Amino acid sequence: LTPKVWWITVGANDVTDMCNLDGIHAGIAQIVDKIQQLRPGAQIVLNAFDASKSDFRLRHLNQRMSCLADSTDNVDAFNPYQNVEDDDFAEDVTSSTSSTKSEDPTASMVDTIRSYL
């Protein structure tokens, strides 16, 4: 296979098994490195974890993946949950019972995939 875009969605089981976040991040970085070695110029997209339930471990890992993408050529971070995370955080901080409706993560993903085609 020689896809132009590699969509990476790994590590979710490791997070739920309470594995070390440094290890999970290092594993994702190794996957990115290997793909870049085998398929130079391929676009790599790191899919964020759903941290919409105020899971600060997942939010931290999403931030680290975003930093990896920002510092690596041909790598993007995709976080369809960002608005949901922000809404939950705002609700946690203000203790408000009202929340805003966030966009559908699936629709956002479809739009993003189309942008690479």
| 35-59 tens-digit pLDDT | 999 999 999 999 988 876 667 888 8
Answering whether pTM is above 0.85, one says: no
Name the pLDDT band for 32 (thresholds 50, 70, 90): very high
What is the reported pLDDT for 42?
Answer: 92
Name the pLDDT band for 84 (thresholds 50, 70, 90): low
Instruction: Report the side by side order of strands in the sheet with 75-78.
Output: 5-8, 43-47, 75-78
Percent residues over pLDDT 70 in the chain: 73
Question: What single string gives the DSSP state of each residue in 24-42?
Answer: HHHHHHHHHHHHHHHSTT-
